[in-house]
Copies of this chain bind each other. A is one copy, B any other.
Amino acid sequence: MNITVLGTGMVGQTVSKRLVELGHKVTMGTRNPDTTLSRTEPDRMTGITFSDWHKANPQVCLVTFSESVKGADLIINATSGFASLEVLELAGEAAMDGKVLLDISNPLDFSKGLPPSLFVCNTDSLGEQIQNRFPGLKVVKSLNTMNVYIQMNPGSLPGDHNVFVSGNDLEAKAMVKELLISIGWREQTIIDLGDITSARGTEMLLPIWVRLWSTLGDINFNFHIQRAK
């Protein structure tokens, strides 16, 4: 598939690299490619600059947001939650019309200090805000409830754990589920929660996720729904 990843941070990098490994043609969208490539400060999480990452992953094409969505079979929103709506505006509503958007972002608000709160929750969600602003997009919320290394390599965390899917369009969800399975998620670990309003539930997992990070001392964990057999 032609997959476009919006966002060039650690999440976008990890997602893009994995999708290249799986044989997809990956395009990364950014505000200004020259600016992104000329950044000299290393990423806080990876310790390397985007330019160095890009040299090591030359198959990934870096273009503007609006260029990146043209010809995409699937768009992945890997931007920070705060930036998501603005980035999608820059990508362009018309160019995205009818396409599938896999939204892996979270509405984390760090402006009031740590731990972060959510800037939208309870009676609304970022997934819904995106779907409502861009009704022509087929928004599927998924993968937003575990760290990106587990997202892209679920087998790296042994045992049973789940990934959730929310969205209004059944074909779009089927496409995303197929991608999840190709990434390594076993079919029985994928829980379809229903329409995009169920993104409220998965985005609202973030506050306990952040607490578990400090309690357990690392991010190498995921939610599993234990059910009676």
Measured CB to CB, the residues of A under 8 A from B are: 112, 117-118, 121-123, 157-161, 164, 191-194, 198, 200-202, 204-205, 207-212, 214-216, 218, 220-229
Contacts and interface: CB of A to CB of B under 8 A. Distances in A.
Contacts of A158: 228-229
21 contacts: A117-B123, A118-B122, A121-B122, A122-B207, A157-B226, A161-B226, A191-B212, A193-B211, A194-B211, A194-B214, A201-B209, A201-B210, A201-B211, A202-B208, A218-B228, A220-B227, A221-B227, A221-B228, A222-B226, A224-B224, A224-B226
Number of this chain's copies in the complex: 2
B227 A226 contact: no
A187 B191 CA distance: 29
Contacts of A198: 208, 211
Given A158-B228, A204-B208, 14 more contacts: A117-B123, A157-B227, A158-B229, A159-B226, A191-B215, A193-B208, A201-B211, A205-B208, A216-B227, A220-B228, A221-B227, A222-B225, A223-B224, A223-B226
Contacts of A192: 215
Nearest to A164: B208
A132 B127 CA distance: 33
Contact of A157 (B159, B215, B228): B228
Contacts of A209: 201
Contacts of A212: 191, 193, 201, 225
A217 B167 CA distance: 19
Nearest to A191: B215
A226 B117 contact: no
